[in-house]
Structure 1
Amino acid sequence: MSLTISKTKKHIVTLRDLSPEEMVEIIDRGIEYINGEVELGGQLKGKVIGIYFTKTSTRTRTSFSTAALRLGAQIVTYGPNDLQLNTGESINDTSEVLSRMLDGLVVRTAGDPNVMKALANQDRMSLVNAMSADEHPTQAIADLTTIKHQFGELSGLNIIYLGEGNNTASALALAIAKVPNMTISFFTPPNYNIAPMLLQYAKEEGVTRNTIIQEFHDLKKLPQQADIVYTTRWKTTGTVKPDSNWREVFEPFAVTKEVMNTYSNAIFMHDLPAHRGDEVEGAVIDGDRSIVFNQAENKAHSAKAVLEWCVY
């Protein structure tokens, strides 16, 4: 397939802004990259992509950096102390300047989502949200790319998510809401839920496609069947737990061998980094039903599809 070419710069700030058709287009293109069906090098030839990360990153930063290079672009990297934002320049002035020099900017803030919106408030440079405090859209796109590659389709699949209602969980809810006939059940510790307004939006979107998005705090409500068990680390980048006994609250939501034995045909997914002995037992993440490293590798393929869709 070939991606739709547009003269207007496109952004991925939140998955709310992607139509179901656009998301499927990006996912399917990512699968073509996974399968080695695309000749690399010409897609972004002559383009310059900025990589601006104010928070730590292994997979996402490397994925987008290598994706841009493999597609023929050059990259300019910025760390948390490299821009004049640190000396008081406004985010609007920074956006205006960068948009006159770059074709695209991949940004991780893990902070105020308004920073992303300000950087995207121009039409000369594509903006990709590589994680903010409220959403991790490119993680969800990569996850659905991995799932579709694994199963051959998305429709009809049932996912159980165990852990905090963080930015990865929020993005999964928004992404799955655009897919017909899926089910995702989030099991989150009390007071560590997905943002209620975001969850309600995702639920309403899902209903229109016969997709079920639900959240529980009671593990007694775990469903009898699942195709995928998904978790994330408990200590999310840039966040601090408000209560000192949070670990006791989280412990029942760990993915153990017992949990996986309940779902004997399910695969295990984790967005990484992982803390073995916390959110997941080592025997699970290192077991034969874990696809976490394929999932991580596929972030690079998905990043190619995202950049090509945004910047091409």
Structure 2
Amino acid sequence: MTHLLTIADVGADGLRQILALSESASLGRPLQGKGVALYFQKPSARTRNSMEMAVVQLGGHPVYIQKDEVGLGTRETAEDVARTLACYHSIIAARVMEHGLLEQMAAATDTPVLNMLSDSDHPLQGLADLLTVKQLAGRLEGVKVAYIGDANNVCRSLAEGCSLLGAELTIASPEGYGLPEELEGVRQVVDPAEAVEGAAFVYTDVWVSMGQDAEAEERRQALSAYQVNEALLAKSSDAHFLHCLPARRGEEVTDGVIDGPKSAVWRQAENRMHSARGAMAWMLGARP
């Protein structure tokens, strides 16, 4: 039994193994004749498509479950939902509002639980990000990555991965928008120009995520100086641009950057599928 709720859960060795499995073309069909529950409390284009295809590539049958079909934490406890789904599936994957729901599910069953996104972490995105950096830079150790904007769940998973594998991450955020914890090898600054100097990769995400509409204007004002545009990217070391998508063009990034020759966002999006396949294979016991 191996749950995957955060990048930190798997450790450095596990992380290296997942990335190696993600690049492997010979994982076999460990899910042949088996189901994978995909519960979505929050919708997503990339997560649903990448996960369904990854399950199929491993020989399994993905079952998409909408939030209205399962009253997670309301009609039924998270523990009872997990126990029920474990009767039918070999992996339970969930995309939830509150990370605590995943922890409750994982504590209630021996069936592996996979975090498809929570309010604090997005490990599947972090795996795809690390895989993309490794492919383009040829390594992770010592590679300089800059993250610009709100240090959200995507940023936390990226930071944990960089810290474990030796990439040098600098996060530039306004006061009150940085990571609350310190991680080895992760630096936090206020000035975005300082963060991108010498960076091989520059990453950003939306300023207003799902569920933050009430504070949208406040967030846009606080982050208005953190747009990744051509002028900011020019201060880097000819950096590749990364974004987890969807992008709000004209806010956190300009068209010229996301559509530019150094943009790697579509490779990154494709890697969501490959890294999901690697993660699930690893959870089921595969090792490179």
**Which of the five TM-score ranges fits, normalised by the shorter chain?**
over 0.9
Cα distance between partner residues in 1 of 2:26 and 2:19? 14
1:284 Cα deviation from its structure 2 partner = 0.4
CA contact (8 A) 1:103 1:124 kept: no
Aligned residue pair count:
285
Aligned pairs (5 A) from 1:57-206:
57-85=44-72, 88-109=75-96, 111-180=97-166, 182-194=167-179, 196=180, 199-200=181-182, 203=183, 206=184
Alpha-carbon shift at residue 71 of structure 1 (Å): 1.2
Aligned match for 2:248, one of 264, 271, 275: 275
* Alpha-carbon shift at residue 144 of structure 1 (Å): 0.3
Tell me, which stretches of 5 or more residues in structure 1 are unaligned?
1-8, 207-211
Per-residue displacement from partner, 1:78-107 (whole Å, max 9, x unpaired)? 001001437622222222222222111111
CA contact (8 A) 1:64 1:106 kept: no
Matched, 1:214 2:187: yes
Runs of at least 5 residues in structure 2 that lack an aligned partner in the other structure = none
The residue type equivalent to 1:305 in the other structure is G
Deviation per residue, 1:96-146 (Å, 9 max, x gap): 22222211111101x221100011114431110010001111111111011
Q: Does the residue aligned with 1:215 lie in a helix, a strand or coil?
A: strand
Deviation at 1:275, TM superposition (A): 1.0
2:231 pairs, out of 258, 270, 279, with 258
SS of equivalent to 2:211: coil
Residues 249-278 of structure 1, C-alpha deviations (whole Å, 9 max, x = no match): 211100000011112521110010011100
Q: Distance in 1 between matches of 2:257 and 2:216?
A: 28
SS in 2 for 1:272: coil
> Shift of the alpha carbon at 1:56?
1.5
C-alpha contact 2:174 2:223 (8 A) present in aligned 1: yes
Report the Cα offset of residue 51 of structure 1: 0.5
Calculate percent identity across the aligned residue pairs: 29
Q: 1:68 to 1:243 in 2, by over 3 A?
A: closer
Take 2:152 and 2:165, find their aligned partners in 1: how far apart are those partners? Answer: 21
Question: Which of 257, 260, 264 pairs up with 1:291?
Answer: 264
- TM-score normalised over the length of structure 2: 0.93
Tell me the TM-score normalised to structure 1 length: 0.86
CA–CA separation in structure 2 for the residues paired with 1:160 and 1:227: 8
